[in-house]
Amino acid sequence: MSQMTVIEAVRDAIRGEMRADPNIFIMGEDVAYRGGVFLATDGLVKEFGDARVMDTPLAESSLAGIALGAAVNGMRPIAEIQFADFVWPAINQVVGEAARVRYGTNGRKFAPLTVRVPYGGGVRGGLYHSQSIEVLFAHTPGLKVVAPSTPYDAKGLLISAIRDDDPVIFLEHKKTYRLVRGEVPDEPYTEPIGKADVKREGGDITVITYGLMVHYVLQAAEELARADGVNALVMDLRTLRPLDRESICAAARHTGKVLVVQEDTPAVSVSSEVLAIIAEEAFFDLDAPVMRFGPPELPAMPFSPVQEAAYMPSPEKILAAMRRLAAM
């Protein structure tokens, strides 16, 4: 076991898998000699050489398409999109092509491709370096979408993503990269894609979330228990497609009161889907209307630190929402 940050866990997962499987390579803007803009791939070019750790030009559509082509021929590419905000030119290749390979070839071909996408705000990134882009991918059948929150989950889920025979969008929250530390086994291991994880047990209310918000919700939950004596069950979705319907409904039934917290704007989002599942399958076990909490419906995250703080969900704002739910 070692203490690692999220970004160290990401690097550790890639390094271990590349040692084990020569068909794995990583490509992206400045991933080789600069080690990636966040240093996720720092040092990898030294160990594996620039035929397996490849700098590509600023051309996301080509990056995704090339990775897809290589994947269809049996390789296991890892494509790094520098910032989630830059992923849109790759949509044709990911949503339009990668998601449909298996379906469109009657299962004769498939695309074991991992697209790593650093996303999320709270880093003063402003309008074009802060976005949450998960919804479009999570909406697309044929893709898997993974969003870990801890170093342990990041390593185990990234290894699962690389070994998975279908395209996986792997979302890494930028703010968790160096903020969150934890125990990580040194050897490779997998965590299952499609399984949520209860990060805190509790019997009074259920809070379902993912990404950076897991940590904010956990902070709020401790304060709620300390100050109000209300115990929250905190569920980390970890995978946004396919959603873990069974665990979501079990958690909803356990307390009868559900709040979904997310950093992305709420309308037509992951929380919409989670609450639809609960309404479909656990409605008669609820003791209160379902609730959700997210940022205001704005086109982008403003740059000004004051406005960014006003936009971003925080432990304090989440605590207030949890108190409203608990009082119902």
Partner 1 sequence: MASRTKATSGKSGKTSKSGDQAASNGTGTSTGYSKDQLLEMYRQMYLIRQFEVACGENYARGLIRGFLHLYIGQEATGVGTIAPLNDDDYIVTHYRDHGHAIARGLDVNRSMAELFGRKTGLSKGKGGSMHLFDAAKKFMGGHAIVGGQLPLALGLAFSQKYLDTKGVTVCYFGDGSTNQGLYHETLNLAAVWKVPMLFVLENNGYGMGSAVERVRAGSPDFYTDVEKYGIEAAVVDGMDVIAVREATEQAVKRLRAGDGPLFIEAKTFRYVGHSYADGQKYRGSEEIDEWRKRDPVEVYPQMLVKRDIATQKEIDDLKAAVDEEVVAAVKFAEESPQPDPDELFDDIYA
Q: Does 178 bind partner 1 (CB under 8 A)?
A: no
Q: In the chain, helix, strand, coil percent, each to 5?
A: 45, 20, 40
**Cβ proximity of 182 and 150 under 8 Å:** yes
Compute the distance between CA of residue 213 and CA of residue 144 in angstroms, rounded to an integer: 20
State which amino acid sits at residue 83: F
Decide whether 84 or 240 has the Cβ nearer to partner 1. 84
From the candidates 129, 173, 215, 254, give the one annotated as an active-site residue: 129
3-state secondary structure of 184: strand
Among 8, 10, 16, 56, binds partner 1 (CB under 8 A): 56
- Using CB under 8 A as the binding rule, the residues of this chain from 113 to 172 that contact partner 1 are 123-129
Least separation in angstroms between CB 324 and partner 1: 20
Classified as helix, coil or strand, 5 is: strand
Mask of contacts with partner 1, 270-299, x by CB under 8 A?
--------------------------xxxx
Nearer to partner 1, 5 or 160 (CB): 5
d(CA 43, CA 203): 46
Q: Is it true that the peptide bond before 112 is cis, omega within 30 degrees of 0? A: no
81-100 residues in contact with partner 1 (CB under 8 A) are 85-86, 89
Smallest separation, CB 106 to partner 1 (Å): 31
Q: Which is nearer to partner 1, 85 or 264 (CB)?
A: 85
41 binds partner 1 (CB under 8 A): no
Residues 10-29 that bind partner 1 (CB under 8 A): 29
Report strand pairing: 258-261 vs 168-173.
Answer: unpaired
Residue type, 30: D
User: 118 with 86: CB under 8 angstroms?
Assistant: no
130 vs 269, beta carbon nearer partner 1:
130
Rounded to whole angstroms, the Cα distance separating 19 from 143 reads 26
Closest CA to 4 of 176, 119, 127, 125: 176
* From candidates 59, 268, 279, 327, binder to partner 1 by CB under 8 A: 59
User: How far is Cα 52 from Cα 64, in angstroms, rounded to an integer?
Assistant: 16
- Site of tokens 């004769």: 108
107 binds partner 1 (CB under 8 A): no
Residue 149's identity, in one-letter code, is S
User: Total number of residues binding partner 1 (CB under 8 A)?
Assistant: 35
Q: How far is it, in rounded angstroms, from Cα 224 to Cα 238? A: 23
Q: SS3 of 146, please?
A: strand
Cβ at position 303, least distance to partner 1 in Å: 3
Told to check if 46 binds partner 1 by CB under 8 A, we report: no
Q: Which is nearer to partner 1, 83 or 210 (CB)?
A: 83
- Residue 215 is a catalytic residue: no
- Residue 311 as a binder of partner 1 (CB under 8 A): the answer is yes
Backbone phi and psi for residue 301, each to the nearest 5 degrees, phi listed first: -80, 125
Is the Cβ of residue 1 or residue 59 nearer to partner 1 in the bound state?
A: 59
Pick between residue 210 and residue 311 the one whose CB is nearest to partner 1: 311
Given 52, 55, 66, 277, the residue binding partner 1 (CB under 8 A): 55
Q: How far is the CB of 141 from partner 1 (least distance, A)?
A: 27
Q: Which are the catalytic amino acids? A: 129
The residues of the shown chain that bind partner 1, judged by CB under 8 A, are 29-30, 33-35, 37, 55-59, 61-62, 85-86, 89, 123-129, 296-299, 302-307, 310-311
